[in-house]
Amino acid sequence: MIWAGRGEFDLFCAVSDTLRQLRGVVTGEAAMIAALGAAIGIVAGLGIAVIIPTVYGGNGWGIRDLDHWTAAIDGVRAALPIGLFGWIVAVLIGALAGLLTSQAMLRRRRLVDELQAEGH
């Protein structure tokens, strides 16, 4: 899921000091990808929260004398805390997914090592 191939995993297993270090790298990579994706989503969402009121104003809602920029700023104020909460949740979910992925990779690695030790 996170890494492209088994060869990269084997190489990292060969050069890493501990399995904890391997788990930390995979978990950190997943958390960084989630953080970047959530940040892009927040920027896009805030952009939409500014664009809709400034372009369409209140005409779509039947409000003729709506101050466009005040409505845009109020929209950003309302959306920002929810977006930041979503960013935190996305990072936590990404880290959990990376942790579960690293556990599965390590479990598979242990099985392969046991089979090779038995001579299969």
Q: pLDDT 10s per residue in the chain (120 long)? A: 445 556 666 677 666 667 788 888 888 989 999 999 999 999 999 998 888 888 877 666 677 777 888 888 988 999 999 999 999 999 999 999 989 988 887 787 777 677 777 776
Tokens of 51: 């664009």
Question: Is pTM, for the whole model, over 0.95?
Answer: no
The separation between the first and the last C-alpha atoms of the chain, rounded to the nearest angstrom, is 27
d(CA 104, CA 8): 15
H or E stretch covering 23: helix 19-56
How far is it, in rounded angstroms, from Cα 41 to Cα 102? 26
